[in-house]
Amino acid sequence: MMRRLSILFLLLWLSSGSLYADEVRIPENASRPIKIGVAVAVNSISKVNDQAGNFEGSLDLQLRWKDTGLAFDFREMGTNRMEFTRDAATKKLASIWAPALTLANATIQSMEQGIFIYPDGTVVLIQRVKGIFDTKYRLGAFPFDTQELAVRIVSERYDTNQIMLTQDQDDINDSKLGKNVRLSAWQPKRLKFITSRTRGWNGQYFPEIQAQIVLTRLPFAHLLSILMPFFLVMLIPTIATLYAKLDLEKRLGFWSSSILALIALSFTYAARYAMLPSDSIVMQLIIIGSGYQIVMIILSVTLFNTQNTDRGFSNPFIVPEIITYLRWAIPLVLIGLVLTRVILTSLHLED
């Protein structure tokens, strides 16, 4: 009985290992490393989520390599290429060698496959993938930022001595952004590739290539939603202090309400733009607004308080002249500080 159980466990262990092993060995007659041509065509991007750190989309991954063992005489076959799609492609793929590349940063929702084999043994595998792709967003220049949404194509089975991920002119021509890549808050720019390698647990290096979708954010809507509430919080108490004839208690009441409104606005910004760094334009606006409120409260208590000015200035014409100057200078300083921050952010280049 124990012997039968041991044999059963041994068979199970061997069968589980065979799932990880190659069903078809790498071609022996091919020179090493085998060149794998990589092309990516982005069909659509349905959502860009910089808070979650991912994007959703559909793309075609095209892999091309040469296996002379699959060469055939096109005159005998009566065709210049053999085509396999969907279930036939899955069945054919199980019977030939393939580089077994993976999309390392993707959660695949659906995938369709097609295989084309040409008379000289060239194999073209096309995988139409729809999924969610994890990527790293750099938001220091928000909302004037340009993002590079990465699709990581990695070999987890064959190292750099066995295969090499390359691109010739045909692969570059087949790589493109589709006409359906349109987003309301983004402007698609181009598709670029970066070749690298990753080190495995066994110390060997495995080839990797990244297809990066370059998008530029359209800043107007974000600027409007950020700046409009900020200026409204500052507007009423500024008018009450500079242009209305109110006593000190009412002016301080307006500024107390403004402080509470700015605190509430900061929580709103933090919830909506939680992914932004501490030196972002949103945080700078909160700092500018807090400083502006402190300055205006000091002016309300001192210069705009007639009881203090009557005792502190013997010349009755000095205070009205200063107040007349401050009525246009203070709003301009606030607007200038905010616009300067916006301009500097738009010129900011991320490392």
Stretch among 6-15, 267-276, 340-349 having the lowest mean pLDDT = 6-15
226-251 average pLDDT score: 91
Residue 18 clears pLDDT 50, i.e. is over it = no
Residue 76 is predicted with a pLDDT of: 84
Segments making up each domain of the chain, as ranges = 22-218, 221-346
Residue 15 Cα distances to 12, 23, 91, angstroms: 5, 12, 20
Residue 308 clears pLDDT 70, i.e. is over it = no
60-71 average pLDDT score: 94
36-59 average pLDDT score: 94
Residue 22 clears pLDDT 70, i.e. is over it = no
| CATH number, domain 221-346 | 1.20.58
Contact 284, 292 (CB under 8 A): no
String of DSSP letters for 98-117? ---EEETTEEEEEEEEEEEE
DSSP 347: T
- Quote the pTM value: 0.80
Residue 239 is predicted with a pLDDT of: 93
Residue 234 Cα distances to 25, 253, 258, 273, 288, angstroms: 71, 13, 7, 21, 11
Please check whether the two domains, 22-218 and 221-346, share a CATH topology: no
Residue 62 is predicted with a pLDDT of: 97
Cβ neighbours of 212 (radius 10 Å) = 18
Structure tokens at 69: 């063992």
Structure tokens at 239: 């008018």
Confidence of residue 20 (pLDDT cuts 50, 70, 90): very low
Confidence of residue 276 (pLDDT cuts 50, 70, 90): confident
Amino acid found at 188: P
Quote the Cα angle for 236-241-246, to 5°: 105
Contacts for 96 with CB less than 8 Å, ≥ 6 apart: 24, 67, 70, 123
Confidence of residue 17 (pLDDT cuts 50, 70, 90): very low
β-strand partners of 186: 183, 217
Residue 191 clears pLDDT 70, i.e. is over it = yes
Residue 341 clears pLDDT 80, i.e. is over it = yes
Residue 23 is predicted with a pLDDT of: 56
**Under CATH, what is the fold of the domain 22-218?**
Acetylcholine Binding Protein; Chain: A, (2.70.170)
Residue 351 clears pLDDT 60, i.e. is over it = no
pLDDT tens for 133-152 read: 999 999 888 999 999 999 99
Cis peptide bond N-terminal to 99, omega within 30: no
171-177 average pLDDT score: 93
Contact 211, 193 (CB under 8 A): yes
DSSP 84: E
Q: For the chain, give the longest Cα–Cα distance.
A: 113
Give the closest residue to 60 by CA, choosing from 153, 128, 150: 128
Kindly report the average pLDDT of the chain as a whole number.
87
pLDDT tens for 213-237 read: 999 999 998 899 999 999 999 999 9
Residue 82 clears pLDDT 60, i.e. is over it = yes
Distance CA 158, CA 160 (A): 7
Helix (H) or strand (E) holding 205: strand 205-217
Structure tokens at 287: 């700092």
Residue 9 clears pLDDT 90, i.e. is over it = no
What percent of the chain stands above pLDDT 70?
89
DSSP 183: B
Residue 182 is predicted with a pLDDT of: 84
Residue 311 is predicted with a pLDDT of: 55
Cβ neighbours of 294 (radius 10 Å) = 12
278-293 average pLDDT score: 92
Residue 313 is predicted with a pLDDT of: 53
DSSP 31: P
Contact 165, 153 (CB under 8 A): yes
Residue 21 is predicted with a pLDDT of: 35
Contacts for 48 with CB less than 8 Å, ≥ 6 apart: 55, 147, 149, 183, 185, 186, 215
String of DSSP letters for 261-284? HHHHHHHHHHHHTTTS-TTSHHHH
Confidence of residue 201 (pLDDT cuts 50, 70, 90): confident
pLDDT tens for 42-53 read: 999 999 998 889
- The residue among 180 and 259 whose pLDDT is bigger is 259
Residue 289 Cα distances to 107, 193, 230, angstroms: 43, 43, 8
> What's CA 22's distance to the chain center, in Å?
35
Phi, psi of 58 (to 5 degrees): -130, 135
β-strand partners of 42: 59, 177
Residue 15 is predicted with a pLDDT of: 36
Contacts for 110 with CB less than 8 Å, ≥ 6 apart: 129, 130, 131
